[in-house]
Amino acid sequence: MTKRLYILLVFCLLSVTYACAETLVLRTGARVKGKLVFQNEQVVIIRDAGGERFQYPRADIEKIMADDEVPEEEKKEVAPEDEITTSKKASILLELAGGVSIIPNDAAGGAFSVDMLVGSHHIGDRHLFIGGGFGYHGLFLAGMKYNFLPIQVALRMPFIEKKHAPVFGAAIGYGVALSKNYLGGIYASAEFGYRCQLNPKTAIAVTGFAQFQQATIPTVEIIEETEYINRTGRDFFTPGIKVALYF
């Protein structure tokens, strides 16, 4: 009898605890209901009816309301996992890309690149990546291989604050030539695609991109049956597909 009474008492206490729940009003307009577990100036932790805990950056929360303060017509629970619920402030971004490299009216070939960037993960009320880094870009045209090390600053911005979101990116910098036979120049790129937040610390994105690389390369001219080697400015354009991992 005592054991049954104890179980009943625990059940009642849990029911009362969840009945005194709070509602988080997020800046996206979504509302999440649960029991407030912990809060400070950086994060808020809430427990749902199933006992699972979710952590939200304080910057993502518009206000916290007691359950009796929420109008009846607005008492709709939102699945927390549909939000990007991470308080992480910095990320490493690793990108792998492949495409077609083109010198207009001259030559075309393949391209492969690897980039590693370090930057912010969250700025203000948006999950915005701004950072910088370097990479390796290999361009293969007309039997020649051109290797560059781009030093760049970059932006990656999801259009909406959801787990699944379209994303836009851009970068600009200088591509350092990795050979004495040619010179590097200005580097720039733009991309658009899809991003998925796999968990609070990791996201993956697949995008289509277009990049531009200036270079000064050797060219051969034949004048009166004599070969002359000159250095000529060329612009490399590379469209392709990129896979990116944020961690």
Which residue, 82, 105, 129, sits at the end of a domain? 82
70 lies in the same domain as 102: no
131 lies in the same domain as 176: yes
Distance CA 191, CA 142 (A): 26
Which residue, 82, 111, 134, sits at the end of a domain? 82
Q: Residue 182 is part of which domain span?
A: 90-246
* Residue-wise pLDDT tens digits, 39-80: 887 788 888 777 777 888 887 888 887 765 555 554 454 444
77 lies in the same domain as 106: no
138 lies in the same domain as 96: yes
191 lies in the same domain as 109: yes
> 3-class DSSP state for residue 243?
strand
* DSSP 8-state assignment for residue 41: S
Strands (E), 6-143: 22-26, 31-39, 43-47, 53-57, 61-66, 90-103, 107-120, 129-141
Q: Between 123 and 234, name the one with better pLDDT.
A: 234
Does 143 have pLDDT greater than 70?
yes
User: What total number of domains does the chain contain?
Assistant: 2
pLDDT of residue 20: 52
> 3-class DSSP state for residue 57?
strand
73 lies in the same domain as 8: yes
Question: What are the strands of the beta sheet with 22-26, ordered from one edge?
Answer: 53-57, 43-47, 31-39, 22-26, 61-66
Which residue, 29, 54, 82, sits at the end of a domain? 82
**Model's pTM, two decimal places?**
0.61
* DSSP 8-state assignment for residue 183: B
58 lies in the same domain as 156: no
17 lies in the same domain as 63: yes
* Residue-wise pLDDT tens digits, 195-232: 998 876 788 999 999 999 999 877 666 666 666 666 68
CATH value at residue 195: 2.40.160.20
177 lies in the same domain as 237: yes
